[in-house]
A and B are shown apart, each in its own frame.
Chain A
Amino acid sequence: MSANSAFITLKNVEKIYPNGEKAVYNFNLDIERNEFIVIVGPSGCGKSTTLRMIAGLEDISAGEIYMEDELLNFKPCKDRKMAIVFQSYALYPQMNVFNNIAFPLTINKYPAPIVNSLLSACDEVKKLLGETDWHTLTAALANVMRNKGSKDDKEERIATIFELSIDGAKLLYDFCAKSASDDQPSEDVKGVWLERIRINETAELEKVAQSGIKLNERFCEVDDDGYEKTQVRKLTNYEIKKKVYETAEKLDLTAYLDKLPKELSGGQMQRVALGRAIIKNVPVFLMDEPLSNLDAKLRLTMRSEIVKLHNKINATTIYVTHDQTEAMTMASRIVVMSRGFIQQIGTPEEVYNSPSNLFVARFIGSPSMNLFDMKFDRKGMRLKHGDVSIPMDKKFVARYDEFYKGKIADFQGILENFDAQAREKVLKIMSATGESLSDKKVKKKENIFVKIKEKLDKKKNGADEVPKEKLISESKLEELKNRLHTDGALTVGIRPERIRIEKVQAGKKYNGCFITKPTICELLGGEYSVHFDFCDKDVVARFDAKSLITTNDDIAVSFSLEDTYVFDPITCDVIKELG
């Protein structure tokens, strides 16, 4: 399968605001059908902006978005076959739940076959009269007609009871209204009705034949090749009602159809927003932090509800959140973003076990990965911090050298030709390390004089100014070069669950373990989160709560080399992964 066959493709998508600020850099992603993509990252990382570009609410400054090989960049929102759920739900406050859900159906036109309503109605009623016992039929009809309600209500009821279309129901209603109000009409009346149907049908068929329209067996207009012609029309009230009831049932909202949004709880409002989205029957769902406004418990239930819904309607979902737990539990693939750059794309398992840089390692996982600094003792082939030392193997040394040689080459390339692309490369590295360009000045109140002065100053200094990124990359290059011959500082990481803790028992020997006392023991229920100091950092590990542990107990801490990660603090890239 070629790459272009992905359902949705984002190619080099970028967003630049009118004031020059760039929010999204070079976003590339292929999305297959039925995936549940979660874009996750801290606030301000550009995830919402990306989602809005996909939706069409923001203009795309550069790059393309394709859906089934069709360019979406200039398509207006409503033509993109997408539905969106906002963080604030954005329910229309003056409409009740029914009307909120029905809104997309009421203002849009949908394609439908052109049906000859008279002929199809006649056919339906004929079939009904043939299949149903006359007396049962008339008793039911009499019941409906007797109740109070408008003509439309009664026609809709007839349609629901006898499973007719609204046209068939209208015809049947017409017959009932015109016949004598008799509870037990005789079979003759049936004959009268059938006769009337026959007359109507013949007249209509003649008219159709005269006008040259061709109809198929379902009374839809067809063109010369036998394909049904379609028209774009508004849905009838009955059709809308049926769909809304269906959707409300799916989301358990049938008790709230008359309520206004201000009378609903957060979870209910959220479901209404979902309902408004799924009733559109579109293949793509976009969600912008929909659970952020809910309380913790509700968030848990809604998380699974959303995924269940996604599976039930076979949607393709793109979900934005800042909560890594949501990302891990809901996604089929995760996109981690920071400061406008993609940090990593992968399945939850990949992103958790094989983070590509320090940012992803820190962001994903709760509690977060333990990180501490160690020095690489090349001669001794080990990592040292104080009296703790972790022996490394030759493979690691080789990888270490390879890594830094590669990085040095990268930076040399950047500095050689410091163009806009190079600048962005440096910004990308800084998005992972967390460094910022300058201390941002506090935004002053807009003062025309200050603005003019700034503009004049810029013009003076413009050409001579060396961009800060260049300075940063130069200093980084220096540091990288040093790594090759000195003992560099590295960041070592290990996930809490991979640290082995044993309570020290008198008399047992613990070789290769680090003996210490915990600083805090937090009981979570089934297990403890045990904190202790290690390499001058607070490290967390798990301990089964089957046995008690307190801060007075001595613990023996150990972990194996395979369970650790090693990161380079200069670029924050991963040097060594698991294993």
Chain B
Amino acid sequence: MNNLELMQREMRKSKRRKNAVGYALLAPYVLIFLFFSVIPCLMGFVFSFMQYNPIDSSKNMFVGFYNYAHLFDFTNSVSLKFWKSFATMFLFDIVMVPTLIIIPLTLAYLINLHPPGYKFYRAVIYLPSVISVSVMGIVFSKLFAGDELGFFNALFGTNIKWLSGKPFENDILRWVVIFIASVWWQTGTNFVILSGALRNVPKSLYEACEMDGGSRLQGILHVTLPNIKSSVGICLFNTLIGYLGLYGQPYVLHAVENSIDQEIVSPMMFIQYYLKNASFVNMTGYICAAAIVFGLIVMVFGTIERKVMGERKRTDKYSAAYKQSKQDVEWGLSLKGPAQDIQSVGGANNVNSIN
């Protein structure tokens, strides 16, 4: 073996060693990732095609698309619950998600003017975001208790039954409470992100706009909004995905006269309810199918959001138009014929010229 081949062998060996080290050190993460993230999803896919019982494996059998068909069978009461919960959550989200962008954005804009004590306000507004949903539930269920002991009722002498009513029928007040509680609880996160984004807009852009003749409003339109677009996109994405998976708030703020189990108002609650209860263990496959359908819908929404907030496709239109106009000018001159004096720009052209 000559020197060149020896060198090549050495190189390959060291490369293999490097690869081995890399794989070995990456292994912990990969293993945990596979076991807790990938495999469950794959298994979920498998289970959705089975009637699966984790406890009693004798009951397992392969049922093909039965679960999915069952899910889309609107006469089935269980499936109907799923779709009704989807509708309720969706309606709530249409109201909630924009609110959780607009309110934090307004507050962020105000706080960026740095009024005295702004650091304190920032901390207070963000604080609720770190407490757990169950604490939030305890507080708000007392604030809005339906009897005269509730804080709100006692303060205003009213007797509004906030947290009561049957879902899908007359529990609009309960949703109002959930709305208020969610705003209080979750404005903080988006607020902080958006105020960071606002602060990052370079001051010289505002000055340039001012010098160009822009008013305050035009400054907001042309400088502020475009420059925080990516952060708004992130907030929108997180809020949207988070509220598609709505669970905690309706759970802790449920109507007092119902047991929680009667109130399945979001797909997550649906899944959670049927998984928790051991008596439904035979339905595991069906639940997996429901989860997959739901997951796909969430992914669709996510993709739509990304597309909408993403960068617009850019065209060549100005360069092309410029080239065209140059050609047209030459063409126009040639039409006049060689005898024409080039400097005679049509008199009509100057009528509307601005000096």
A contacts B directly (C-beta below 8 A): yes
What is A's interface to B at a CB cutoff of 8 Å?
Answer: 55-57, 77-78, 82-84, 86, 88, 90, 92-94, 96-98, 103-104, 107-108, 110-113, 115, 120, 123-124, 127-128, 132, 136-137, 140, 153, 156-157, 160-168, 218-220, 235, 239, 241, 245, 248, 254-258, 260, 276, 280
Q: List 26 A-B contacts (CB under 8 A).
A: A56-B211, A57-B210, A57-B211, A78-B212, A78-B213, A78-B214, A82-B211, A90-B208, A92-B205, A96-B314, A98-B318, A104-B212, A107-B218, A111-B354, A112-B354, A115-B352, A124-B348, A127-B347, A153-B321, A162-B332, A163-B332, A164-B349, A165-B351, A239-B352, A256-B319, A258-B316
B354 and A168 form a contact (CB under 8 A):
no
Kindly specify which of B182-190, B268-276, B323-331 makes contact with the partner chain. Answer: B323-331
Residues in B whose Cβ lies below 8 Å from that of A157: 324-325, 328
Choice from B204, B226, B331, B348 contacting A86 with Cβ under 8 Å: B204
Q: Among B227, B316, B331, which residue has the most Cβ atoms of chain A within 10 A?
A: B331
Residues in A whose Cβ lies below 8 Å from that of B208: 84, 86, 90, 92, 276
Choice from A56, A103, A161 contacting B329 with Cβ under 8 Å: A161
B contacts with A, residue count (CB < 8 A): 41
Say yes or no for B229: interface residue by CB 8 A criterion. yes
**In the bound complex, CA of A140 to CA of B226 (Å):** 42
A258 and B314 form a contact (CB under 8 A):
yes
**In the bound complex, CA of A97 to CA of B318 (Å):** 9
Say yes or no for B345: interface residue by CB 8 A criterion. yes
A84 and B331 form a contact (CB under 8 A):
no
B213 and A132 form a contact (CB under 8 A):
no
Residues in B whose Cβ lies below 8 Å from that of A168: 348
Interfacial residues of chain B within 156-214, with CB under 8 A of chain A in the complex:
202, 204-205, 207-214
Residues in B whose Cβ lies below 8 Å from that of A90: 202, 204-205, 207-208
Q: Closest approach, in angstroms, between the C-beta of B106 and any C-beta of chain A?
A: 22
What is B's interface to A at a CB cutoff of 8 Å?
Answer: 202, 204-205, 207-214, 218, 222-223, 226-227, 229, 314-319, 321-322, 324-325, 328-329, 331-332, 335-336, 345-349, 351-352, 354
A123 and B205 form a contact (CB under 8 A):
no
Nearest CB in chain A to that of B222: its residue:
A92
Residues in A whose Cβ lies below 8 Å from that of B211: 55-57, 77-78, 82-84
Residues in A whose Cβ lies below 8 Å from that of B336: 132
Nearest CB in chain A to that of B210: its residue:
A77
A165-B349 contact in complex given A94-B226, A160-B325, C-beta closer than 8 Å: yes
Q: Closest approach, in angstroms, between the C-beta of B339 and any C-beta of chain A?
A: 12
Nearest CB in chain B to that of A84: its residue:
B211
Q: Closest approach, in angstroms, between the C-beta of A135 and any C-beta of chain B?
A: 11
Q: Closest approach, in angstroms, between the C-beta of A24 and any C-beta of chain B?
A: 18
Residues in A whose Cβ lies below 8 Å from that of B210: 57, 77-78
B346 and A163 form a contact (CB under 8 A):
yes
Q: Closest approach, in angstroms, between the C-beta of A119 and any C-beta of chain B?
A: 10
Choice from B324, B325, B348 contacting A164 with Cβ under 8 Å: B348
B325 and A220 form a contact (CB under 8 A):
no
**In the bound complex, CA of A491 to CA of B39 (Å):** 83
B348 and A165 form a contact (CB under 8 A):
yes
B354 and A248 form a contact (CB under 8 A):
no
